Structure 1
Amino acid sequence: MPEPASPARVVELRAVGDVAVNRAEPDSALTLVADELRAGDVTYGNCESTYSERGEPNPHSRGMVRAHPRNAEAYSEAGFDVMSFANNHHLDAGEEAFFDTLTVLAKLGIASCGAGANLTESRRPAIVEANGTRVAFLAYSSILWPGYEATDDSAGATPLRVTTTYEQAELEQPGSPAHIHTTVYPEDLAAMVADVRAAKDVADVVVLAPHWGLHFVPATIAEYETEIAHAAIDAGADLVLGCHQHVVKPIQLYKGKAIFHGLGNFVLDVPTPPNLDSPGIQEMNALFDGYAIGRDPAYPTYPFHPVARRTMIARARIEDGRVTEVGYLPCLINTQGQPAPLTADDPASVEIVEHIAEISARAGFEVPTRRDGDWVVVPLDATVAAGAMSS
């Protein structure tokens, strides 16, 4: 008789977008979603704040995102295993707070990726093992203030720098609106491809975590995002988890692999900024016509547009070292700045699912979905993926 087949090695990855806890009772930030986060065998998020009592505001940034180190304990309590630190806030309070944050995460048992004392360290993947499966995380930032990128001899994030060009839309009309084109620096793209290939040699699954995209506006995808994602998948990446934009973004399929262009805010404690009336913030708000930050007494620690209250927990099922299914659980950020999971029959859940389908279609991505209880499943069938590629 043939021997019975051995059971599959199954690992569930759960992931969220930007997290920056800064409140009197840190554990309250994630209390409504902690069970869902801890249910993952591997849980990931983007660390959007520094955690330190040291440092001064970096003159290159719009402001300083920094919190007391005790706030980071909320991440370990909620079950985070790995976090990216490649973003546009990691050097907001200088190198002292930068290194303090990496130390705090390490002491909490949370692996970090995407930032380090130099470029070699920042390019090193964070590898988490669960049920005999090794999952490698590589993080990069295309959203960088001057000096925020890691170099051979300076601390920072792994850069995926981008060139922007503007093409006059109507040839005979000077001053007409421009077509905007974005292209990744060839040397940065080549380095990322090499990193993915090297990580694939030592891990079963490779997750790319880019900090990218146009913030605040829901459906717009910059050209360079697809350039990065496709290059990473062609090199062996199995999943792309984007963040930065402060709103959920479209989902794309490519060669049977999922690209979450933006997981949205998850916890972003931002008591109404004292510099809300500064020229830099006013300029940003004017560019995005109300989608950026503002004052809302009902949301005292979350001064974002109502569309930014829609968020998700992404999920990937990994069987025998291969991602076989992805999906997401719709969540809504409440007046206390807490993400709360939604049931399938909640009108807010229906709105979020319809919103993600609508913005994905507007971006040109065909992404069929189905319900699995409260979760939404995105099929990774090869035929479906090919259709999405041709859209």
Structure 2
Amino acid sequence: MTTLLAVGDIILDEPDPDSFFEPSRRTLLGADTVIGHVEVPHSTTTAQTSTDVPAPPADPAALGALARAGFSVVTLAGNHIADTGPDGVLDTVRHAHEHGLASAGAGATLAEARKPAVVRAGHRKVAVLSYNCVGPRESWATSSKPGCAYVHVLTHYELDHASPGGPPSTYTFAEPGSLDAMRQDIAAAREQADIVVVGLHKGIGHTPAVLAMYERPVAQAAIDAGAHAVFAHHAHIMRGIEIHRGRPIYHGLGNFVTVTRALTPADDNDSPERRAWAQRRVELYGFAPDPDMPSYPFHPESRNTVVACVEVDDDGEVHARLRPCRIDDAGRPVPLTRATGGEEVVAYVRDISRRAGLSTRFDWSGDDIVTITQGEQR
């Protein structure tokens, strides 16, 4: 049996990054392979190329905290990886490798970004692929530009009623050639490894429960192509979980360690982009961060999170589980038992899965692990 653990977004932009993993360290160190998504560049460059909310680079040394907590692979394909330009992309890859972390999803060229991270887990090899589905296009790698691997998602707006200027319906779907490239990568990875998993940076940020139209087809396409599991992130809030052809799709693992002050204006003289974002956040998503947690500028529901646990037996059968966690007042994910708050987190996961139209069962298997299967909830 090979055990893989995966978590959602990771931002290590506060002092003493090791301390944020203390409550979860014992859980993470017990797996064959642990995967996390690094959200921002880790570099000393001062360049800023983002046209969105500024995401300053984090300390390269902070990546060492991931290795010390038990992580072996980091996925890098995301909307912020190129915020500090080509140097930031290449520095992040280099520093990850220097700290003993394999990486997937970013590189000096698109071909490099599409290569899987292949690591040994006992007597088996695990291949990890990583794709960004949310843009911006400036973050995408090309044959001659550093950046990330991607699945190009198209958006179409249609006015479905007789009210010009009114709100349209939104339709999203993957560009076929881009989706085929992902399928080809998965097929190639199956030739290199015994187990293949895919990380997808996808979803609508800071919005509870909702899955955009493209999300299930893209994730299911990865399973259909041979992936044993899909782990998604980006929205900074959890999404539901489904079982497709006997294999799990964690549509959004939410936040894990995400500590940063980059989205919190320090004063009226702060970045105009950051101040504008703080105002838009309330208008778009209906929340303001907890003022007592200035380094955790996220939706209050995002403090519900999980560690995904996927076990692959020697016959290739996949068993999906989760370990419920709660992000505490210090921004640390804390694994829970059923009696110490885990039931509330699992109830939340059941609810967002149901609201997304997913038919999934979540059953406790002891005090701290929940088994995930296809079928009616109870």
CA 1:323–1:31: 2 relative to 1, 3 Å:
farther
Distance 1:163 1:298, change over 3 A: same
1:359 maps to which residue? Answer: 352
Distance (whole Å) between structure 1 residues aligned to residue 353 and residue 163 of structure 2:
32
Aligned residue identity for 1:211: H
**Mapped partners of 2:143, 2:238: distance in 1:** 34
Structure 2 CA distance for partners of 1:359 and 1:162, relative to 1, 3 Å: same
Rounded Cα–Cα distance in structure 1 between residues aligned with 2:223 and 2:335: 30
- Provide the identity percentage: 35
Q: Does 1:307 align with 2:301?
A: yes
1:125 to 2:122 alignment: no
Give the structure 2 partner of residue 350 of structure 1: 343
> 1:215 aligns to what SS in structure 2?
coil
Match in the other structure for 1:243: 233
Query: 1:126-155 CA deviation, whole Å, 9 max, x = no partner?
Result: 111112111111100012224110111101
Count residues with an aligned counterpart: 369
Structure 1 residue 16: Cα displacement:
0.3
Residue of structure 1 in register with 2:149 after alignment:
158
Q: Distance in 2 between the 1:234 and 1:145 partners? A: 27
- Partners of 1:101 and 1:206 in 2: how far apart? 23
> Equivalents in 2 of 1:213, 1:106: separation in Å?
28
Q: Take 1:334 and 1:71, find their aligned partners in 2: how far apart are those partners? A: 20
Q: Which amino acid aligns with 2:219?
A: A
1:298 and 1:342 map into 2 onto residues whose CA distance is 23
Shift of 1:168: 2.2
Deviation at 1:295, TM superposition (A): 4.3
Letter in 2 for 1:282: Q
Deviation of the 1:176 alpha carbon: 4.1
Structure 2 CA distance, aligned partners of 1:289 and 1:264? Answer: 18
Conservation of the 8 A alpha-carbon contact between 1:133 and 1:320 = no
Mapped to 2, the partners of 1:333 and 1:227 lie a distance apart of: 30
Q: Is the CA contact (8 Å cut-off) linking 1:55 and 1:95 kept in structure 2? A: no
2-structure distance, mates of 1:283, 1:299: 19
Task: Answer whether contact 2:253 2:306 (CA < 8 A) is retained.
Answer: yes
TM-score by length of 1: 0.90
Aligned-residue RMSD, C-alpha: 1.7
**Equivalent residue letter for 1:166:** Y
Cα distance in structure 1, aligned partners of 2:50 and 2:233: 24
1:89-137, CA deviations, whole angstroms, 9 ceiling, x for partnerless residues?
Answer: 1111122222111111101111000111011000001111112111111
- Tell whether 2:321 aligns with 1:327: yes
> Aligned with 2:136: secondary structure?
coil
Give the TM-score taking structure 2 as reference length.
Answer: 0.93
Higher alpha-carbon deviation: 119-128 or 138-147: 138-147
Gaps of 5+ in 1: 1-9
What 5-or-longer segments of structure 2 have no aligned partner? none
**CA displacement at 1:55 relative to structure 2:** 3.0
- Over residues 331-388 of structure 1, what are the superposed CA-to-partner deviations in whole Å (9 max), with x where a residue is unaligned? 1111111111111112x32221111111111111110121012111103xxxx36x89
Distance 1:247 1:163 in 2: 23
Distance (whole Å) between structure 1 residues aligned to residue 194 and residue 63 of structure 2 = 29
Structure 1 residue 23: Cα displacement: 2.1
Q: 2:276 corresponds to which residue? A: 279
Alignment-derived partner of residue 199 in structure 1: 189
Change (3 A) 1:65 1:312: farther
